[in-house]
Structure 1
Amino acid sequence: MNSLDILILVMLVMTTVYVIISSKRANSILTISTGLLALLFVIQFFWKGFYWQYIPTYLQSCLLMIAIYGKLGSRRKLLHFSLGILTVVALVPWAIFLPVPGLTKPVGKYSVGTQIFRWVDSTRAEQISEDPFDKRNVIVQAWYPAQGDAKGTHSLYLDGLPTLPPKVSIMPSFLMDHYDQIDTYAVTNAAPAKAREKWPVVLFLPGYGAARAFYTSLAVGMASHGYVVLCLDHPYEAAITQLANGKLATTIENFQPGDSDRLGFMKDRLDIRVADVKFVINQIENKSSNADTFFTSLDLNRIGIAGHSLGGATGAAAMAGESRIKAAVNIDGTLYGGLPKSTVYLPFLLIESKKDEVGRFERYEAGNQALFKQFHGGYRYELEDADHYSFTDVPLLLAPPARLLAGYVLSIGQQSKKTHKATVSLLDAFFDHTLNGNPSQTDAVANRYESIARKSVAY
């Protein structure tokens, strides 16, 4: 919601209140006010385009003009009452969904660039779609430190804009009509920043059913601190992603009969994701040999992995079987399936939301204890103000009133921007130590945030 939208709504409400409490019909104040409102509507429409949130506002404006300039007689009180009701109705859309949400602004010292790669693994058949000739696609969006004078347009927030299907996950796509205006704080195809050495790499995996877009705040935040973040989309699991042939792929869920807890289904998806990770690492290794590509700026001896929810558990499982991954972060994820045996210490970090409901998180706890055992220890921090969805951008798609209601009443997406900043700080401290070889600062970072508590690791 930009300053022009706020100005229009404030003027509309003030004019409506003046009309209701004033006994006068048209006067100089109302003439100037309605004329300015009309001008602002025109400017907004041609500058930003049509917002569906304005529909009741347009109706209210028409009713307002009738109240000011019409000959109403005894119907004036009824019209004033209708104006009051419509004022509330006009404000409701703005209190729920924002036309153009604002993401968490990165605070690192680097500008950020981004590129998208849509790769096909010709050695793997697609297991999820019904087409027997499908090959596995993996979509990767790179977020990276860019030259400080990088110029250009910001990247599109979501694959498929502006030709989205009727629904994206559970959300009607018309709510996203103007998501092309979201500032991602990254310049498309910007030149990588020059450095004395190559950049460390962090693969980032989304939660189950989530598109990579919903982790833009975390990815851009990490890139601004000096990492190349490769954020993956897993087709037919992600809410929406565009394949190499241009097709838009949405979620397909093919649960097996008798799998009431979806354990087998989730393990299969985790295994597919692990294979996706290995494919991506192979791709960047192959492409780094070409001197003219972006991939020559990547240090393939410093690869870490992080993810949220199923993505976090997948990242840890991928590290257990992939020696090229040097460190892993699980953000609030539950492990499905087993792990290969290992006797080697590998750096592992668990970042979690508040877990204060006894008995609810038994599978989550058991899976993470298995990970700590696998990697012979690690770090564990709890963000006491966060819930599972706070790590994503999804709460930021809501207007502040709806965000407060979802966070404090429904415990969904609490303190999102605060959570993003704390999470990026922990990720930066952990990977700066494990990939860059600098002294560990994770405890120092935790001490800067009252909401972060270090928890003991027992396995």
Structure 2
Amino acid sequence: MRQILAVAVGLAVLTASACSAPAPPRSAAGPSATPTGPATLPAPTGAHPVGTTALYLKDLSRPDPWNLDADARELKVTLWYPTKQRDGQRAPYMTPKESELTLKGLRVTDVPYDTLSKTRTNAVKDAEPAGRKLPLVVLSPGFTQPMSTLTSLAEDLASRGYIVAGIDHTYESYATTLPGGRVAECLACDSDADPGFGTGVVQGRAADVSFVLDQLPSKWDGSDLIDRSRIAMVGHSIGGASAVAAMVKDSRVRAGIDMDGTTYARIPKSGLSRPFMFMGSPPHTPGGRDNSWDRDWKLLTGWKRWIVLSGAEHQSFTDSPLMAGALGIKTPSGVLPAARAAELTHTYVAAFLDQHLKSQRQPILDKPSSRYPEVKFCPATCGQS
């Protein structure tokens, strides 16, 4: 059944699903506030300046699952990484055409269609990578969402000493720009009510991840910096569900995080022993509206955590709330403010990765913190105020 988003760019969600298809947002009838001008992503918190570049890869071994006229799977991969270069052109958040198609997909009509393309980022375009043997983090966005919606998380991780590879899963978002200026739109959006849709998506994305890991060593000039023994995957919504699928399929992915995504890939009865963290909004509390985490929790046999952020909505783990002012949308009462949601997401994702890819113990992963009272540890403190 087609799931429903209640607010443009996902400020509030009525269902906690890994693949949510937008319905008309509140702003469709008129903005609830005066747009504030271009959004600015929060400054990264790590010690390193950040560079970014894009790769375009073509998997000739398989046809595209959505475009029946394509005999190969094309992917755009955006890389973020530490650099020594502090000055230079900041990378665009998305192109004007990508912004237009995204806002049309979300049915936002009260601001110029190029609004999202004016978002200010922090990473220097095509800067030279710096460092030595750094862990790699693969990022996968939610359904209909371009990879750019996880840019602030990617920039923050790169500033902390990670190489980040964000995958645009072609034809599964409103817009992906491919070589030659071709724009791939959301062909998968026509199939999201089909039986087995979620299972098929996560299987396809797991294949995308394995292909990208195969290709990076030969296709990116900075690949010598990647420590291939330290790879993790983090995803939002169906991208988080795909982290489970990728770990089941590919042993190179040593740890994973699912941010608010209903899971579809079945974990073997023998269990999944690599580190994994569920990080979600209140519908993902044990016994809540989504019971997929209850099912999979029992099959996670290694280090594991299940945390829920009080006041979070489905898109709180993405850049979407940071765009609210630029789109003239007020954050609903009781929802985590955008800056706080970003801080919590960045802090706990980085803590997990630091512990499991850098062997740096992180006490905030062991118990509730007075500094972050919104974070509840399941099942012990879920639902407590």
TM range (shorter): 0.7 to 0.9
State which of 74, 78, 84 in structure 2 corresponds to 1:141.
Answer: 78
Q: Which has the larger radius of gyration?
A: 1
Q: Is the 8 A contact 2:49 2:123 kept in 1?
A: yes
For the pair 1:266 / 2:194, whether they are aligned, the reply is: no
Counterpart of 1:119, as a letter, is L
2:149 corresponds in structure 1 to 214
Q: 1-side partners of 2:65 and 2:374: how far apart?
A: 42
1:354 corresponds in structure 2 to 282
For the pair 1:119 / 2:119, whether they are aligned, the reply is: no
Secondary structure of 1:355's aligned partner = helix
Residues 10-21 of structure 1 mapped to structure 2, 5 A cutoff: none
Instruction: Give the superposition deviation at 1:304.
Output: 0.5
Instruction: Give the superposition deviation at 1:335.
Output: 0.9
Counterpart of 1:264, as a letter, is G
Q: 2-side partners of 1:154 and 1:267: how far apart?
A: 37
1:103 corresponds in structure 2 to 41
Deviations 1:50-72 (A, max 9, x none): xxxxxxxxxxxxxxxxxxxxxxx
State which of 252, 256, 263 in structure 2 corresponds to 1:335.
Answer: 263
For the pair 1:310 / 2:238, whether they are aligned, the reply is: yes
Deviations 1:241-283 (A, max 9, x none): 1123431011123666xx96x4511111111111101111111
Secondary structure of 1:120's aligned partner = strand
1:386 corresponds in structure 2 to 312
Identity of aligned residues (%): 29
Q: Which consecutive residues of structure 1, in runs of 5 or more, have no partner in the other structure?
A: 1-91
Q: 2-side partners of 1:232 and 1:240: how far apart?
A: 13
Counterpart of 1:250, as a letter, is E
Counterpart of 1:242, as a letter, is T
Deviations 1:83-124 (A, max 9, x none): xxxxxxxxx869244441122222211111101111111111
Q: Is the 8 A contact 1:392 1:416 kept in 2?
A: no
Counterpart of 1:183, as a letter, is R
Q: Is the 8 A contact 2:275 2:356 kept in 1?
A: yes
CA RMSD, aligned part only? 2.9
For the pair 1:437 / 2:352, whether they are aligned, the reply is: no
Secondary structure of 1:418's aligned partner = helix
Where do 4+ consecutive residues of structure 1 move more than 6 Å?
356-359
Q: Is the 8 A contact 2:352 2:365 kept in 1?
A: no
Q: 1-side partners of 2:243 and 2:98: how far apart?
A: 32
Secondary structure of 1:419's aligned partner = helix
Secondary structure of 1:407's aligned partner = coil
Instruction: Give the superposition deviation at 1:140.
Output: 0.9
2:22 corresponds in structure 1 to none
Q: Is the 8 A contact 1:160 1:248 kept in 2?
A: no
Deviations 1:400-428 (A, max 9, x none): 89543x4227x5xx322211111111111
Q: Which consecutive residues of structure 2, in runs of 5 or more, have no partner in the other structure?
A: 1-29, 381-385
1:79 corresponds in structure 2 to none
Q: Which has the higher helix share?
A: 1
Q: 2-side partners of 1:199 and 1:315: how far apart?
A: 20
Counterpart of 1:373, as a letter, is L
Where relative contact order (Cα < 8 A, 6+ residues apart) is larger, the structure is: 2
Instruction: Give the superposition deviation at 1:431.
Output: 0.9
Instruction: Give the superposition deviation at 1:443.
Output: 2.9
Q: Is the 8 A contact 2:51 2:124 kept in 1?
A: yes
For the pair 1:428 / 2:350, whether they are aligned, the reply is: yes
Instruction: Give the superposition deviation at 1:236.
Output: 0.7
State which of 366, 377, 385 in structure 2 corresponds to 1:454.
Answer: 377
CA 1:313/1:162 → structure 2, altered by over 3 Å: closer, same or farther?
A: closer
2:332 corresponds in structure 1 to 407
Instruction: Give the superposition deviation at 1:160.
Output: 5.3
Secondary structure of 2:299's aligned partner = helix
2:299 corresponds in structure 1 to 373
1:395 corresponds in structure 2 to 321
CA 1:365/1:157 → structure 2, altered by over 3 Å: closer, same or farther?
A: same
